Chains A and B, each alone.
Chain A
Amino acid sequence: MNPVGRGALTNVTNADYVRDKYAGPHAEQRSVGAMTQEAGRLMAKLVPLADGVAELVRDGDTVALEGFTHLIPFAAGHEIIRQERRDLTLVRMTPDVIYDQLIGAGCARRLVFSWGGNPGVGSLHRFRDAVQNSWPVPLELEEHSHAGMANRYVAGASGLPFAVLRGYTGTDLPRHTGNIRSIDCPFTGETLTAVPALNPDVTVVHAQRADRAGNVQMWGITGVQKEAVLAARRSLVTVEEIVDELTPVPGQVVLPGWAITAVAHVPGGAHPSYAHGYSVRDNAFYVAWDEISRDRDTFQDWIERHVQNAGATA
């Protein structure tokens, strides 16, 4: 189990922070046996998806699957469902169809988020069923705004205990979300909002390419993936393609292999979302999900046929 303690993640106490400060968010990445050494640095190991999830995602973990309508790590989410992880705290700015599936499959105990919907389509029926009817298990919510969530990842990636922003003021969110606090600026006296750092036990993202040393390259809309990976204790990146050399692409984000725990080659791993340059959004699936997920039986049938009984692709 994670030595830093998962309580530290969403309710940062001083003791937790001091431990984090000395251990660093990547303390565990350095000690995970799954790493290889190259040029004096510990590089991400190339692993099959099932092994990566088995090793890096554990029951009770705080898990962030990020990807802002683009590069959503669906295949990794399905592997988490197949391996029947339980009691996860799921973190994501925009819990959409993949979190609807994880929630409906009973993997989640808690959701930390800022917008939960089927993007461009409507509501998430499994998410609503969990919140309104505790099906299949009760789901605790920790609800923020996008600005708050983005800044929480930035603080986590920066090794800071909290982030400061102009946000939430006058809304009802602070009344229901305990970790939205106010703070006075020490220079101007102005009252601002503070939210605690997010440091997931593990962050999972999908990217276009990695090289054999585990350096990862993504482009197009890169959302909050860099921050979510750097904030996490462990990370797993699924990629469309493994290449000998990462040719530069305009607008790219490159995450060095020594900042990542493991990379899995999973072509099409973002479907039904898309990977810019490799695939387009399967909009028909998002629309179909509205019907599939509306009813518990059709949902369970779909999960059984398309996730449980479908092996990992890599």
Chain B
Amino acid sequence: MSQYTADEMMTVAAARQLRDGTACFVGIGLPSTAANLARATHAPDLVLIYESGCLGAKPDRLPLSIGDGVLADTADAVIPVPEVFNYWLQPGRIDVGFLGAAQLDRYGNINTTVIGGDYTDPKVRLPGAGGAPEIAASCGEVVVIVRQSRRTFTERVDFVTSVGYGAGPGDRARLGLRGGGPRTVITDLGVLEADPDSCELTLTRLHPGVTVERVREATGWPLAVADDLSTNEPPTAEELTVLRALEATMRAAA
């Protein structure tokens, strides 16, 4: 199957990132699509956790919101929201947290609060933190899914909603953040990974047909590129078929 969109490539790359048997904190939108794609393909025992309190949800269609009834109907357990954060996230029981971003800097710090102006008089008011600050702090690792552009990949974020590596190496330990932080950022152009020494997001993989130059143009800081830069495999026929079937279930439910 040769025809696919950049968003489909991004979702497939995110799904491939999820290892079978791990517990994954899932938000609605691309993370939910990617996690359900992973569960329907290579990771049947992936544990999906939705912050509405659904642990081990096994939806047969994509949920319309994090509180969709199909999540409660198929979950191993439905628990109160305070327990999601106190008993499951905070002690480090969740391996992977999936986050989006309105702005992201080279250390994976994320803004989903305000853009431009100042906090009390912003140019754009965004939804805010939700569960993200503690997901970013406490999950074993964080995977960010975001479309890449200069507007989003900024030299500085206007507001730190969720901490990545702060100002660089050692900051997470100084702040007492126990989780591993944003190891991987998956975009519509490729994959960036945090360098183990500098903590800086480094381009390690390109999606097929994308050039390094194009990724640089979509990045608001001088982008670090790995010496062993590779190219992702395009979506397989199976991945595309399953992904499209999942997305069709959401359109049908809506």
Contact = CB atoms under 8 A, between A and B. Distances in A.
A221 B78 contact: yes
B137 A167 contact: yes
A143 B26 CA distance: 22
Interface string A233-272: 0000000000000000001010000000000000000000
Nearest to B123: A132
Contact of B78 (A132, A146, A165, A222): A222
Nearest to A154: B82
A281 B61 CA distance: 15
A58 interface: no
A114 B80 contact: no
A171 B163 contact: yes
B69 A280 contact: yes
Contacts of A145: 129-134
A116 B160 CA distance: 17
Given A172-B159, A287-B254, A116 B127 contact: yes
Contacts of B53: 68, 221-223
A132 B122 contact: yes
Interface string A199-225: 000000000000000000000111110
A128 B52 contact: no
Contacts of A191: 176
B178 interface: yes
Contact of B133 (A94, A131, A154, A173): A173
B66 interface: yes
Given A145-B130, A166-B138, A221-B54, A151 B160 contact: no
A153 to B, nearest CB: 7
Contacts of B124: 128, 132
B162 interface: yes
Given A113-B128, A224-B80, A171 B69 contact: no
B72 interface: yes
B134 A166 contact: yes
Best-buried of A70, A119, A131, A170 by chain B (most CB within 10 Å): A170
A114 B129 contact: yes
Contacts of B119: 172, 176
Given A115-B127, A120-B28, A120-B65, A227 B82 contact: yes
A173 B129 CA distance: 9
A294 to B, nearest CB: 14
Contacts, number: 170
B254 A147 contact: no
Contacts of B69: 70, 220-221, 274, 276, 280-281
Contacts of A144: 129
B133 A69 contact: no
A128 B123 CA distance: 10
Contacts of B162: 171
B177 interface: yes
Contact of B65 (A113, A223, A281): A281
Contacts of A226: 80
B43 interface: no
A114 B84 CA distance: 15
Contacts of A289: none
A13 to B, nearest CB: 24
Interface of A: 68-70, 93-94, 113-117, 119-120, 123-124, 127-128, 131-132, 143-147, 150-151, 153-154, 165-173, 176, 190-191, 220-224, 226-227, 251, 253, 274, 276, 280-281, 283-284, 287
Interface of B: 28-29, 51-54, 64-69, 71-72, 78, 80-82, 84-86, 89-90, 113, 119-134, 137-138, 159-163, 166, 171, 175-178, 253-254
Given A145-B131, A220-B72, A220-B78, 6 more contacts: A115-B128, A146-B81, A154-B82, A167-B134, A172-B113, A221-B52
